[in-house]
Structure 1
């Protein structure tokens, strides 16, 4: 009878105690979260209740399993498995706690600072820091698990002795990976590009959606995802429209006839931007920038608070201006000139006849008499 009750009491007691401690801890965190709504720390810490309960259960079972006297033939193997579960769950819990602390710090910073560029920079740095912390904790946990095996402990001395050679070989083999790793750190702390920045890379316009230590993802306007190595942004030029502030100036070009009413177009541009909610009210203007034998080029200048709004203003100005020209001033639209060509004057100042004059002109041009 004792052989049956002892394992049940030990295992069942460990599980019940784990559930009670986990429930009490979660209750305290929930009350703290309700009492301090200004910080998300306590609510974020509640995400770690599963690894927290795993740590408690594995620790209790690891410490009391010898008293259970269950499966004596497999006692060493079960103890080894509980140790591995304890190490893995502890690493999981550390990552969750670190993530809660880092996310709380970022939230407080974003609440205090209203500059979107600075907030995006901190967000980029925080995300990369969390990836580094997770990688370090994972490596330490894996090494700790391996060192629990006696064979790995015996091989530790030889591994340390050959660490220098292995480091050189690994560095040569993973040269591109290390380059991406250092490029990712350079991007994070060099403030070159941040999550949420509007960039143009390889002719593609989009928003930085994700930054890791090895690659960067750009979300284009048509919802495509372009994944690029971070070394691209440290070795090649690219456009960052959000650098130095989110306010932007956009231009819209029109090709119109030489008879187009430029002053009326300026007044119409003023009316269009005033009715457009995306315009920030800073500036607008319209000037003639170039001419060709058949048309003249007119440039409309508008401003907005960010890249998304400047796109909205530009397309609004383009659509409404073309509609207004079509309805009110159709003569101002570019057209193909089909008028008859004017004959060149003769040498004595009189216009040539269509036939003889043209033949004499061709003869003089080609050198034939």
Structure 2
């Protein structure tokens, strides 16, 4: 009975010690965050408390199990010592991987937050955001693979297969490379997009005839949110093998145009004045520039082009719609003769006799 009591006391003490260590670490991080609120790292590191406590509990219990070997002769513990040690090893590897991922995520997010706070260029902020997102995905995948490999190696059967697996690694690598050629191409294309600054999260792009905003970039696919809330998902290799429009490259400012077909008698000078009035009443117009000119003539109509500017693609779309609607309404109410007319000739004028 004394053996069981000592074992339970040591077990309870190990758990309480791990919980106290996690609580102390959280307290220190809260104080550091209060003293340095400009650094988000301390607040983000507080998410590691649970994983840290599990790592400490597993490590302390493993040490306790080794220390009890030969000293505590309790039949249930002696019979299941190997199984308990194996479970603790798996818990230690899994919790350690969880702690590494949380710590890496906190460091990367803190670095991005500080960069975004001190940088006024939104294009650079989107670039760093894309790179940070892909870096965390790579780190998470690498840590998960290593943790899984470490767990499998704790099983004797997998250790026995290690020699044959390593011997055939070259052949397996060749076969896997051929089979996963498309996937590997997408992964390398993802790195090329992230660090080549081709496209970033938040960029306005036109792909496959669809206009939208880049919402997510992973190592294998890219998601574009269209103006009508649809999501287009495509492999990242699409952006390295095909041309596409990136309206956010070189700045988000945009210039748009509106084309109207009018009659030859249309008052172009008054239309130009009306266009300026419409723009002055449109909050999305950024005031950088505007113009109206006749760009083409046909035997029956003229083509009038209005040029407007806005701070981004979304606003330029709104300005174009406002200009188009305003000019058509004004022509309909004030100058209906300026609208295009379709002249139909009667049969008598064409010299055709009706029977």
Shorter-chain TM band? over 0.9
**What is the aligned-residue RMSD (CA, Å)?**
1.9
Report the counterpart of residue 332 of structure 1 in structure 2: 338
Find the counterpart in structure 2 of residue 51 from structure 1: 51
1:282 equivalent in alignment to 2:251: no
**Who wins on radius of gyration, i.e. which is larger?**
1
TM-score normalised to structure 1 length: 0.89
How far did 1:72 drift?
A: 2.6
The 3-state SS of whatever aligns with 2:46 is helix
Of stretches 146-155 and 214-223 in structure 1, the one that deviates more from structure 2 is 146-155
Q: Distance in 2 between matches of 1:271 and 1:175?
A: 58
What are the Cα deviations for residues 204-263 of structure 1, in whole angstroms up to 9, with x where unaligned?
A: 110000000100000111111111001111111111111121111111111122211111
Match of 1:347 in 2: none
Unmatched 5+ residue regions in structure 2?
A: none
Paired residue for 2:84, among 78, 83, 108? 78
Report the Cα offset of residue 335 of structure 1: 2.5
The answer for the alignment partner of 2:23 in structure 1 is: 23
Distance in 2 (CA, whole Å) between partners of 1:14 and 1:21 is 11
Does residue 323 (structure 1) correspond to residue 329 (structure 2)? The answer is yes
Is 1:298–2:304 an aligned residue pair? yes
Give the match for residue 235 of structure 1.
Answer: 241
Cα distance in structure 2, aligned partners of 1:251 and 1:113: 32
Gaps of 5+ in 1: 345-353, 359-369
In structure 2, the partner of 1:273 is: 279
Structure 1 residue 217 corresponds to structure 2 residue 218: no
Q: Deviations over 1:278-318 (max 9, x none)?
A: 11111100111122333221111011111111112111111
Distance 1:58 1:310 in 2: 59
Match of 2:187 in 1: 181
Aligned mates of 2:314, 2:64 — CA distance in 1: 61
How far, CA to CA, are the matches of 2:347 and 2:272 in structure 1? 34
How far the C-alpha of 1:124 sits from its partner, in A, is 0.9
3-state SS of paired residue (1:324) = helix
4+ long deviations beyond 6 Å: 341-344
Please state how far the C-alpha of 1:339 moved relative to its aligned partner: 6.0
Partner secondary structure for residue 283 of structure 1: strand
